Amino acid sequence: MNAWNFIGVAAWIILVVYLIFIVINIRQRHLKMIVVHGQHHSGRTILIDLVEVVVFLAALYGLVYAAWLRPTNFTNSAEATVSYKYQPLVLQTDDKHSYYVEVRSGSGKNSLMHYTYWVENAKVEVNSNDATVSDGSGILNLQASHFPWHAKKLASMDRQTDKAFVATITARYKGNFLNGLGLRAGKTGDRFSLIRVPSDDFSTIVPLNDGE
């Protein structure tokens, strides 16, 4: 494990210890209020309880956000190191036509699209959360345009492969305090693939009821 992640481990341990502390503290405070002062309700006691619980919830939210809710920022060089991989697509053929990518949709109104493409010595399957197919005159479609691509390299691959390649961008979290707090340091944060084909004629649609 990356050494920076021990910050997050320590933070979670401290949070658990603090939870145990406030449970014991609240119990003792209420017992004292009843036994010593003969009261069942006290505004001051309730206020202290609320403050301790709010502090705990705020710390819990902060750790959860740092670990799971914080989105990956591909453009923040202080947060992550971005790398690129470019591979030519391998043409597939069947009885009807030739294609570079196989498209299968899930069921339901908001279902994911599932893409299968082939590169040298490998078959790759991704979904529409992590990839997009670009078959227009421009290399980038709307979904891919949200990522910091190298335009010159994409244009070069477009020429070299006759518009048949896959470009993958990967963000790996750097070792720093915030990434360590979220137990992310040294880990892959996000990955997205741009699947480039000459036109939609080079994509084959698999019917929904077609078995795997």
36 token code pair: 């010593």
Using pLDDT thresholds of 50, 70 and 90, give the confidence band for residue 42. confident
**137 belongs to a structural domain:** yes
**169 belongs to a structural domain:** yes
184 token code pair: 């992310």
Burial class of residue 193, CB neighbours in 10 A (0-12, 13-18, 19+): buried
User: How far, in Å, CA of 33 to CA of 91, rounded?
Assistant: 78
Torsion of CA 194, 140, 164, 208, to 10 degrees: 60
Query: What pLDDT score does 95 carry?
Result: 82
**Boundary-marking domain end, from 47, 69, 91:** 69
Say which amino acid occupies 30: H
**211 belongs to a structural domain:** no
Q: What is the pTM of this model?
A: 0.85
**Boundary-marking domain end, from 31, 50, 69:** 69
- Look at the chain and report how many structural domains it folds into: 2
**pLDDT, tens digit (0-9, with 9 covering 90-100), for 156-182:** 999 999 999 999 999 999 999 999 999
